[in-house]
């Protein structure tokens, strides 16, 4: 399969400046320094056209930051992002900007991502007119067709976001993304804020749209059950680093990285011989001061002396990639 999206060593650092109280404390002698968070640390993987790739990991591991860099909403600190062979890392050329438009993001909270003062007709139609995908004269029909595609009556075009339910608003968010005719959607916890019954409907909508429009997805979620249901492959992140990538079935049936194993142990799964419910041991370390070597080693039941010293290399075997000393041919 040829890659549609390729990430090569993509990183993002955030400087953490001292606030007023911390600066005052430093003047009084406290040992406080400006620090840096490696929100995403050298992520490399690719996504083929038509694939759904799930991106999972505990809160703060860098999922949203990665998604926002792919969507072009956040500059990268290092590395390269290629879309259909074009370098879109900075989207400086007209060709790169055009490619970037093919990548759209759908957010968690539709209420805060939709302008409360705009009617649905404008929210959905604005970008399509701007980018010349429809005309001012044709926009009403264009929006009506998009509303139908996401399962809403054309009458919704005259409503404001506050006049709709959470599920309806999320459908508007999806219609707005589809308005610029994307090929790649990044769904960032796009169903997390919805009632469980509505979540199922929106997941079905994503799957229908995938078939109808030949879409490719990066599906960011903390809900492993949803990811198992929707994704073809899964990328697991821990404290900014990608630790495992595998086809969904292989990942859920035989996870290789101890972090993935611990993460899956948290999910009760009936009929798969895995009915335990355990939480990942220990606290997530501060991203401002991550443990050396493998970031997971202080919480890892299999950690050995190498794990606290050496950053594990990424080893790929039969489409299953792991960054763990237990799998790099040596001993942990």
Ligand X SMILES: Nc1ncnc2c1ncn2[C@@H]1O[C@H](COP(=O)(O)OP(=O)(O)OP(=O)(O)O)[C@@H](O)[C@H]1O
- Out of 54, 63, 129, 186, name the contact with ligand X by CB under 6 A: 63
Torsion angle, CA of 120/122/125/130, rounded to 10 degrees? -160
Q: Which is nearer to ligand X, 62 or 312 (CB)?
A: 62
User: What is the smallest separation between the CB atom of 5 and ligand X, expressed in angstroms?
Assistant: 18
Phi first, then psi: what are they for 222, rounded to 5°? -90, -5
Residue 197 sits in the site that holds ligand X (CB under 6 A): no
- Region binding ligand X by CB under 6 A among candidate stretches 59-67, 81-89, 204-212, 324-332: 59-67
For residue 55, which of 272, 242, 266, 328 has the smallest C-alpha distance? 242
The residues in 243-302 that bind ligand X, with binding defined as CB under 6 A, are 287
- Region binding ligand X by CB under 6 A among candidate stretches 55-63, 167-175, 260-268, 294-302: 55-63
Residue 64 sits in the site that holds ligand X (CB under 6 A): yes
- Out of 65, 199, 260, 314, name the contact with ligand X by CB under 6 A: 65
User: What is the smallest separation between the CB atom of 92 and ligand X, expressed in angstroms?
Assistant: 23
Residue 160 sits in the site that holds ligand X (CB under 6 A): no
Using DSSP's 3-state secondary structure scheme, residue 295 falls into coil
User: What is the smallest separation between the CB atom of 279 and ligand X, expressed in angstroms?
Assistant: 16
Residue 37 sits in the site that holds ligand X (CB under 6 A): yes
User: What is the smallest separation between the CB atom of 147 and ligand X, expressed in angstroms?
Assistant: 29
Q: Which is nearer to ligand X, 60 or 151 (CB)?
A: 60
Residue 227 sits in the site that holds ligand X (CB under 6 A): no
Site size with ligand X, rule: CB under 6 A: 13
User: What is the smallest separation between the CB atom of 131 and ligand X, expressed in angstroms?
Assistant: 28
Bridging pattern class, strands 184-188 and 233-238? unpaired
For residue 140, which of 179, 105, 103, 113 has the smallest C-alpha distance? 179
Task: Give the Cα separation of 77 and 12 in Å (integer).
Answer: 5
Are the beta carbons of 325 and 294 closer than 8 angstroms?
Answer: yes
User: What is the smallest separation between the CB atom of 10 and ligand X, expressed in angstroms?
Assistant: 13
Q: Which are the contacts of 60, defined by CB distance < 8 A and separation ≥ 6?
A: 239, 284, 287
Q: Which is nearer to ligand X, 60 or 166 (CB)?
A: 60
Task: Give the Cα separation of 102 and 141 in Å (integer).
Answer: 22
Q: Which is nearer to ligand X, 177 or 235 (CB)?
A: 235
Which tokens sit at 90? 């900075």
Task: Give the Cα separation of 97 and 80 in Å (integer).
Answer: 15
- Region binding ligand X by CB under 6 A among candidate stretches 63-71, 120-128, 166-174, 313-321: 63-71
Q: Which are the contacts of 86, defined by CB distance < 8 A and separation ≥ 6?
A: 95, 96, 99
Are the beta carbons of 16 and 35 closer than 8 angstroms?
Answer: yes
Residue 72 sits in the site that holds ligand X (CB under 6 A): no
List of residues contacting ligand X (CB under 6 A): 14, 37, 39, 57, 59-65, 222, 287
């Amino acid at each position: 399969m040829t890659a549609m999206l390729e990430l090569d060593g993509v990183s993002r650092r955030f400087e953490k400046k001292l606030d007023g109280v911390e600066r005052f404390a430093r003047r009084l002698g406290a040992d406080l320094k400006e620090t840096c968070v490696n929100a995403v640390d050298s992520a490399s993987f690719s996504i083929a056209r038509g694939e759904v790739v799930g991106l999972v990991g505990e809160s703060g591991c860098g999922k949203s930051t990665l998604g926002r860099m792919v969507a072009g909403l956040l500059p990268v600190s290092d590395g390269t992002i290629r879309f259909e062979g074009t370098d879109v890392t900075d989207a400086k050329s007209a060709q790169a900007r055009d490619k970037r438009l093919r990548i759209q993001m759908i957010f968690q909270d539709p209420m805060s991502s939709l302008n409360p003062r705009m009617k649905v007709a404008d929210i959905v139609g604005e970008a399509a007119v701007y980018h010349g995908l429809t005309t001012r004269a044709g926009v009403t029909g264009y929006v009506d067709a998009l509303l139908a595609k996401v399962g809403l009556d054309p009458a919704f075009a005259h409503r404001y976001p506050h006049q709709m339910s959470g599920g309806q608003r999320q459908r508007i968010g999806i219609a707005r993304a589809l308005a610029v005719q994307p090929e790649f959607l990044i769904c960032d916890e796009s169903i997390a804020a919805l009632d469980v019954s509505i979540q199922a409907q929106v997941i079905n909508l994503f799957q229908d749209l995938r078939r109808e429009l030949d879409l490719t997805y990066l599906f960011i979620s903390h809900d492993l059950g949803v990811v198992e249901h929707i994704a073809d492959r899964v990328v697991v992140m821990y404290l900014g680093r990608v630790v495992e990538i595998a086809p969904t079935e292989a990942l859920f049936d035989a996870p290789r990285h101890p972090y993935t194993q611990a993460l899956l142990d948290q999910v009760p799964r009936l009929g798969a011989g895995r009915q335990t419910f355990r939480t990942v041991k220990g606290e997530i370390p501060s991203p401002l001061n991550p443990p050396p070597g493998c970031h997971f080693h202080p919480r890892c039941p299999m950690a050995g002396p190498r794990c606290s010293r050496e950053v594990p290399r990424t080893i790929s075997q039969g489409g299953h990639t792991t960054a763990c000393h237990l799998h790099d041919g040596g001993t942990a």
